[in-house]
Chains A and B, each alone.
Chain A
Amino acid sequence: MRTRRWLPAVVGVVMLAACAGEGSEDGGGQFEDDDGTSQDDQADPGDAGEGGEPVRVGVLMPFSGPVAVSGELFVKGWELYWETHGTSAGGRTVEWVTGDTQADPSVAVEEARRLVEQENIDILVGPLLGSEGLAVGEYTESIGLPQVYGIPASEEFLRDIPDTIFRYGITHGQVSMPFGEWAAEQGYERVSTICSDYVTGWEICGGFINTFTDNGGEIVTQLWPPFGDTADLGPFMAQLAEQDHDAVYLGMPVGDAVAFFRAWTDFGLLDTVPVLGHHVTSSPSILKAMGLEAEGMISAGVFTGTLDDPVVEDFATRFEEAYGEPSDPDPALAWHAGALVRHGLEELDGDVSDADEFIAVLKQAEFPESVLGPLSVDEHGNVLYDVHIREARDRGDGVMENFVIDTYEQSGPNFRYDYDMYVEQPAYNRDYQGFDWPENCDAYISDCPLD
């Protein structure tokens, strides 16, 4: 065993060599520094102005793993924003670095830490998934870093969100609740749902059912295929074929939606009843994978490149010119993240040292004209969106996009329900789908649609 005694030393040296650096700052994991601050080696924000230190933004997204495409789209929209508008804001130049979450919450936190501690970022934009966002949010709160957080739609954020996060995106229910009401008003009476069996699917379905049943609709059956599996959808199709319903509500994200549509077509169900979708089932890239048979699918969402709005049109044209693919909600959300960062910097003259202040400024910002349509903020800091009901159509050159057929203006995550009541209901899951509210909804909302 003579030769083995070097090994502990080598391991130690390698570990330390990896960490060669100066200073004795303290920090890591979920811990605060001894002195309560963590960014004291960063630019002094007081000297903002021409020639001041650049503002560094960390863009934290998955760039590898199954959802890498969302991260790539997001960065495309982000870069396009700054290319279009220039990188100067509030007297400072905006720079950014990216971090790869690999769609894993613990990696996301590690990357956030790397961006903060190695790249000296002042603002964090991202991440993508709800589980990542919840984990990273704890960290940014602990060190007082402003986090601009767009895509995640988990309703868990309604119940508990740190002051250092501005969640400018939608929740799934924010989109599916108006859609449920719309579906009922269109005369759909009996609907079956098929949503992926995890938190996103539960929330998409739960929101829809909440309002659909409140407006007199009836849910025939609920099917829950496993998420992200190459699970065979055949048995689900067989069950849907058996039902006496007048529409099917689909809440299976991205690749799963494509698989659903393939099966739906192959089982000859395409001409039976309409499929009602959600924005995660109907972005242009998904429609392309589904094929032309998806034409006519009705879905709800907040962004579509075909909206009759000069700001949206401008963005959609630029995006398609730059990247050769139709615009998508992900880059639009990224573009708006850019607009938010610019707004915050300009309001505070480039001073981003106080995360709470920066976020407070964003929470007061109204965007009557944004790439996501007119936006306002409610008293709980949730952004109100125009929710569009869209129909998928060939726009003329073989590319399918969503065209608006109806709009619910300025709709929040609680829709018509009393905010506190809504937040107090249990989190949607497979066993709680918002069925409990029909019949006596005027106990919860001011103008009960049943009256």
Chain B
Amino acid sequence: MCTTCGCGPAEHHHHDHDHGHDHKHEHDHSHHDDHTHEHDHGNEHRHHHKVDTTAKSITVETDILAKNNRLAAGNRTLFTSKGVFVLNLVSSPGSGKTTILERTLRDLNGTFAFAVIEGDQQTDNDAMRIAATGVPVKQVNTGAGCHLDAHMVCHAVENFDMDNLDILLIENVGNLVCPASFDLGENHKVVVLSVTEGEDKPLKYPSMFHNADVMLLNKVDLLPHIDFDAEKCKAFARRVNPDILIFDVSSKTGEGMNAWYEWLGAGARKSR
């Protein structure tokens, strides 16, 4: 059983890391299975022989996300104790998250020690792109899953030397809906929106923009060529989240990236 989160090997199906020793702990898993079978038998028994007259109501009042939140709190404690500044990057697919990361890593790799977690349903294409910058990276494939959760992150960071890390960047699955609900233990949720998307995206996907602290408006080099009202888009984002911090950037030309780097550096220094 995992000592960090108490999970058995069967619960590791969402990610693809391979540390052999965990897989030997089959006892826990079998025990759970047996347990379930016993229940099934008991249910059938009662079902066949009597109508239950002792139904009992139990007040629960438990947050459904409590388990994720507990694991996220554990991650946060780890990150704080190791002095690591952690960002959770979220957006729709194709907004340029990976390109922003590549540029950021190439420009700041000498200044700060980075690591990256790449979340995608399938492939390690993004991890290969990050690895090419020389930064340690762990790809997490969620399979059918539409978001990263705190449990996946807690195991992904086992791959990094946390004692010698300044900044951990987590690129979530490209999806403007589901990742909004799952705390990973990050310092900030950073939402990326590109100008080739609709300017009303903050209104169409308000939960994500409400839960993010920072917004990167990407691909601003394309603004002269398209009908995208950047000011209107930012006004929409501020309606959903009046405190959101917005950077106009182009990960292609580098425009606006310095302001983002300064913010990133300030956060990393504060976390040390």
* A, B: real partners: no
